[in-house]
Structure 1
């Protein structure tokens, strides 16, 4: 009996030592928030005492970035440690196949002895999500937390807060916002409609202030709930053994932020907090430290594995931020933004923290582009109303106009990104450097998102986009990228090159040639009308859809019109979505109205195609029933 008691005592000591050696790790994620609206990032109008205290005791990162600008692509990188443009997960809720050897990183933490829980958002943008989630988490549910682990077992726990999501800040009907946000706040916590400064690209009016106050109150509610979680951690006597990481999933959910490939969409508030027991693990020290080290979501998975003492898989190419294998800081990051819901887009960006450069491949689609879930929001309706009535200043109006091919903003002088410096000679050297950094990275990665989504879906039937991009004969990236690099650039010499590429033997090259022509001034296409019309029946559907959209927009061609009407009704959801998106931004589009209306009568219509159809009607100022919405 004495021997057994001694043995049990030794086992308890061993478990205690194990728990002390391996820290508990808590991730607190919240939705749709930019640093500009958090107190510790300099906003004196915000009420975020919990986040401010966490930063005052920990480390505040001023240059932390999501690798995407909408939730599911961002979470894809968070959970796998692989960039979306390498995995094929850049398009919102696309759920394409990933390789069998890639797991959610908590899977490896389990093997290192951790109890892993997620409470409770997943939205990882991968195929077979149930199996993927089952492998990654010991428990993933609204009841999950550290409380069901074995005695002495270290935990990795994620808690996600929806209270600052754009549903609360803009798309819920106002009465629902009142019940879900305002009524949840004590009166002293509420922020009034005149108690903050408006970002300059929104009209400063009572109507807009009423809507924008939702951002501040939703973040305040989030801050309160984070405080409650940290108090529970303390009540469970775990605060002194838990490292906390607290950050948003991407930038602000209001118009021009979320879904847009600029700093306002990418940059996130990010705070790390180390208890005294584990202060030695922080390479930044602790206690109100502010660091300008560049980090992004690709870095988090390998860093958590390093903290847990687990091996980092070779496919994770992000930096290890913590521990003996900490990688050297970098001088720039590559970021990306693709389709969000029914709104197509493609932007690739480079940032060094102070400057951000963005390359727009669909510049004919503006920053305030139609996305059904955003259009139902009162603030977006107000912005469109003010635009139609001529009440916006040039900056505010620019959100509804064609984008330039490139953006370059100096955040050190222009935090709201109001002055595009692409043509400023003082920034010419920096611009050239960032262009090269982008080219080098995309070529090295063989960015798989340069394939139209129609093609990604076809590939996923037999393999994964991740593996496909590594097969040179199947995916000649340099050849495709040469054509894609012309897209968005304007001018007669570029048009001539794109016309020549319409007869290329590579179908993806032809698609990019057509897409590039859509951004050209239509008068530059007139000399090439014969060549364009001769290719309207291209045997590759995405190329056909794109070129027909060009031919109808530039020439009102009847054959293009006929083809487009057939493509709108395609059984292939992605082909129909592509075609409708082109038409939303096409002049003289009224001729497609009856076809779109007929399409919307189909109750089995895919959600994104239905949403694009509704946006087409909105683009013609046709009233529609907006009772249907989704988070």
Structure 2
């Protein structure tokens, strides 16, 4: 029999050991991510929308920290997610264009890889979409499990977890693209009546015409987000049931801005700004530098900050290639004064835009302003809402504000988010903001050059580079990629002065082919002034670099009806083995005056079995734009 004194000593020892082990466990919090699709803060209750039915998100904000200046690093799904998973920005890796498949260096891993090494169980349920040919490698390294059944419940007893859940209810397929009857099955049939929003229950944003038809479509946004919130509630309830709420930090955010015209894929603030909330249980309140309990912060964060922040919370080292900052924990980094954001197009269409934001004021630069903000994309143009808006635009029944997204693109945008959350008043030419514009313009240039932004390469060149190296590594060689010279040429795009035009003409003779590419693209925006320089342009039109030759051929036939140029465009359309050249040609033709003449050639392209999927999609889009051929229906997601 053990003496009472010894029993007391043993019990005291066990008690101390228990608290020591508990304290050690508390150093590694559980982390839950609830990620929703395609949503702007304007449609969330805790951000001020009284119509929104988002009680679960609102409750997290009420108890946690709500960020008012959180931004995605891309304005469409896969580019954003490539930065989220790696901690490296798209303009470093070459992952900026939606649905591209370029490799990334072996030393760049999905950040959950480092969490696993730190003892975490990592699960992903279940979307990946990392926009790189390295996706399989990333998935294998990053996740203990990535599937529709993945969750913290499959970890070892007592093991800290990092669990991601992606919710599709607010995805563009539900809120905009899929036909209405499909939306009913995907959303309304699974959403309780009490959580549904009717067509007349909300205020129509000023960028949309207030009609019954538009309201019928816009209600889909509210219901899709409400369904997402409803499903978030189910995950939170399971967390509570498993007695994990008091040991789990919860992140809520959207992968980019709202999937509506002028939002998703658009490189302005509206495409980048996202709702973002972090909930800290009592056990980990000390890890919030902001406090908790409904705190609101205007601190700037973007998706490149997520990986280093989570690694810091887990006590893991942050790799040198992650250039984001840690914004949580005891050793959080100093606040950012401004962010550089990027948008590079989608579905075979390049549309390079860059944004500098300080949270309140956002300056965006369009480098291909021959296209409008609402450039043609099959995935968007299939939708009833956009077809209705294009019809209203054609019939001149939209207001000046509502027309903006369909008119020929503007070179610079400046928006005051606090006063103008729907970005209807472009302040770029307002003399009161002259000094601010000049500073942000210079900051943008410096940031692009400093980061060696590789997305100033055309898609064709990214393909060529990727045969021997990665875009990430290629951009570091200033001899092969003189970004300062390239940016100088690109920055002339949209500047419609004689001086700029003559500079572009001179740059058509530059030794670097990418400089010539941007000189040619810039001329695409010069319009009727090109008639005065017919001889100079024709003399440069037989460039040895095919992307330059294609762009100049488009200009020469569009403005001069040059028959040799027409033949170059026709021949390029037939190059089945060079899909990127076909895509560039189709993009040039879509925004060309005499494009109807190429209908037979595009129809022939579609008829060829050898035509690759993306070229097929954009060919269908061309015929829809030029001929009015209905787009082939596909149920997305």
Q: Which runs of 5+ in 2 are unaligned?
A: 3-9
Q: Provide the residue aligned with 1:267 in structure 2.
A: 273
When residues 125 and 8 of structure 1 are mapped into structure 2, their CA distance, relative to the original with a 3 A threshold, is farther
Are residues 1:102 and 2:108 paired?
yes
Q: Is the 8 A contact 2:100 2:131 kept in 1?
A: yes
Equivalent-residue separation in structure 2 for 1:15 and 1:562 (angstroms): 75
Select 1:392's aligned residue among 369, 394, 398.
398
Equivalent-residue separation in structure 2 for 1:601 and 1:393 (angstroms): 41
Q: Provide the residue aligned with 1:426 in structure 2.
A: 432
Are residues 1:605 and 2:611 paired?
yes
Are residues 1:319 and 2:325 paired?
yes
Q: CA deviation at 1:9?
A: 11
Q: Provide the residue aligned with 1:77 in structure 2.
A: 83
Q: Is the 8 A contact 2:101 2:132 kept in 1?
A: yes
Q: CA deviation at 1:11?
A: 9.4
Q: Provide the residue aligned with 2:55 in structure 1.
A: 49
Equivalent-residue separation in structure 1 for 2:50 and 2:14 (angstroms): 55
Select 2:239's aligned residue among 220, 230, 233.
233
When residues 8 and 595 of structure 1 are mapped into structure 2, their CA distance, relative to the original with a 3 A threshold, is farther
Deviations 1:95-151 (A, max 9, x none): 211111110000011111111110000001122321210001111111110011111
Are residues 1:203 and 2:183 paired?
no
Q: CA deviation at 1:343?
A: 2.9
Equivalent-residue separation in structure 1 for 2:19 and 2:336 (angstroms): 42
Equivalent-residue separation in structure 2 for 1:127 and 1:594 (angstroms): 34
Equivalent-residue separation in structure 2 for 1:104 and 1:580 (angstroms): 35
Q: CA deviation at 1:602?
A: 2.4
Q: CA deviation at 1:344?
A: 2.2
Equivalent-residue separation in structure 2 for 1:574 and 1:206 (angstroms): 41
Tell which deviates more after alignment, 350-359 or 615-624. 615-624
Equivalent-residue separation in structure 2 for 1:565 and 1:130 (angstroms): 37
Deviations 1:435-472 (A, max 9, x none): 11111111100110111111111111111111111111
Equivalent-residue separation in structure 2 for 1:576 and 1:446 (angstroms): 27
Q: Provide the residue aligned with 2:149 in structure 1.
A: 143
Q: Provide the residue aligned with 1:439 in structure 2.
A: 445
Q: TM-score when scaled to structure 2? A: 0.96
Q: Is the 8 A contact 2:287 2:330 kept in 1?
A: no
Q: CA deviation at 1:10?
A: 10
Equivalent-residue separation in structure 1 for 2:611 and 2:245 (angstroms): 50
Are residues 1:535 and 2:535 paired?
no
Deviations 1:550-587 (A, max 9, x none): 11222121111110111122221111101101110100
Q: Provide the residue aligned with 1:581 in structure 2.
A: 587
Q: Is the 8 A contact 2:286 2:329 kept in 1?
A: no
Select 1:517's aligned residue among 516, 520, 523.
523
Deviations 1:172-214 (A, max 9, x none): 1100101110111111211000111111111111111100100
Q: Provide the residue aligned with 2:367 in structure 1.
A: 361
Are residues 1:467 and 2:473 paired?
yes
Deviations 1:535-555 (A, max 9, x none): 222110111111111112221
Deviations 1:399-455 (A, max 9, x none): 211111101111121111111111111111111111111111111001101111111
Q: Is the 8 A contact 1:69 1:265 kept in 2?
A: yes
Q: Is the 8 A contact 1:33 1:268 kept in 2?
A: yes
Deviations 1:268-301 (A, max 9, x none): 0000000000001111110000000000001010
Q: Provide the residue aligned with 1:502 in structure 2.
A: 508
Equivalent-residue separation in structure 1 for 2:487 and 2:426 (angstroms): 25
Equivalent-residue separation in structure 2 for 1:429 and 1:502 (angstroms): 32
Equivalent-residue separation in structure 2 for 1:625 and 1:41 (angstroms): 37
RMSD after superposition:
1.7
Q: Provide the residue aligned with 2:308 in structure 1.
A: 302
Q: Is the 8 A contact 1:18 1:152 kept in 2?
A: no
Q: What is the SS of the residue equivalent to 2:351? A: coil
Q: CA deviation at 1:8?
A: 11
Equivalent-residue separation in structure 1 for 2:19 and 2:110 (angstroms): 32
Q: What is the SS of the residue equivalent to 1:454? A: helix
Q: What is the SS of the residue equivalent to 1:586? A: coil
Q: CA deviation at 1:14?
A: 7.1
Deviations 1:241-282 (A, max 9, x none): 000000000000011100001111000000000000000111
